[in-house]
Structure 1
Amino acid sequence: MSKTNRRKFIGTAAVLAAGTAVAAATPLTAIPTTMENKYPIVHHVFFWLKNPDSKADRDQLVAGLKTLKKIETVRELHVGVVAATEKRDVVDTSWAVSELIFFSDLAGQAVYQTHPIHLAFIKNCSPLWSKVVVYDAVDA
C-alpha cells in the first residue's frame, strides 16, 4: 500500500470512528420521535359511502377531507382509503374513506369541531355518506 493510500485509509477510518463516537454519545431524547406525545389528541373518522362503487363520490369526499388541513389547530392530517392488505377476521374493510387528524390538545380539537371549514365540509359532503364512525383518543 502506498503512503498516499495509507493516509487516505487512516483519514477515512478516523472520520468514521469520530462519527460513530458522536452518534453513540447522542442521548436518545435528542432524536425526534414520530408523533408520539407530539400531538396527543387523535381524531379518527371512518366513512361509508351511500354509493360505495362511485369513484366520483369517493374522490369528492377525499377532496373535502383534505380541506380540513387548513384549520389552524389541525397539526397532522391523513386521508386514506381501504388498503389491499391480507384478509383477516380482525380487519374491517367495510368502510370507504378515513381521516386521521392529530391535535396538540383538547382545546384544538374543540376549535376544529365548530370551525367554519369543518362545518362547510359537513354541509357539502354529508350527502355522500351513509354512515360515519368517530374514534377520539388521547395518549395513555
Structure 2
Amino acid sequence: MKPTSRRKFIVTSAALAAGTAASALPLKGSGNKYPVIHHVFFWLKNPASIEDRDKLVAGVKTLSKIETVRELRVGVVASTEKRDVVDNSWAVSELMFFSDLAGQATYQTHPVHLEFIKNCSHLWEKVIVYDAVDA
C-alpha cells in the first residue's frame, strides 16, 4: 500500500470511528429514556438485623411488578471511604425510573405498592423520598 493511500485509509477510519462514537451519545437536552426518578431511602427499626434488611430488599423488589415502573434498582450501604458528604446511616435504597409523572402517580396507589407498605412498613423507622425529573 502506498504511503498516501495508507494515510488516507487511517484518516478515513478515524473519521468513521469518531462519527460512530458521536452518534451513540445522547443529544444535549434530549432527556433520558425514563425521565422521572423516584429515589427512596429506608432506615430500619433494627439496623443490626440482616434478616430485616433482607426482608425489606425482597419486598422492594416486588415493586418491579408494577407496569409503570420502567427500571428498579435496590441497594444497601456500600463500604466506601468515609467522607463528610457521605450519609451512610440508611439501610436500603430504592431507585426507580418512570416514563412520566402519570406513571409515578399510578405507582403510588397501585395494589402492589400498597401491599408492600402493608407487609414491610413494620421494618422501617424512617423513610425519605427524593423525586426528580431530568433537567
**TM-score after normalising by structure 1:** 0.81
Aligned pairs for 1:19-98 within 5 A: 19-26=13-20, 28=22, 30-31=23-24, 33=26, 37-98=32-93
Number of equivalent positions = 127
Match of 2:129 in 1: 134
Q: Deviations over 1:82-116 (max 9, x none)?
A: 11111111111110000000111000000100111
Task: Give the greater-gyration-radius structure (CA).
Answer: 1
How far, CA to CA, are the matches of 1:44 and 1:71 in structure 2? 16
RMSD value over aligned CA atoms?
A: 2.2
- How many Å apart are 1:26 and its aligned residue? 3.0
1:120 aligned residue (115, 120, 130): 115
Counterpart AA for 2:66: I
Identity %: 73
Q: Which one-letter code corresponds to 1:31 in the other structure? A: A
Q: Determine the C-alpha separation between the residues in 2 that align with 1:88 and 1:27.
A: 36
Q: What SS is found at the alignment partner of 2:47?
A: coil
Q: Give the TM-score normalised by structure 2.
A: 0.84
What is the deviation of 1:18?
A: 6.1
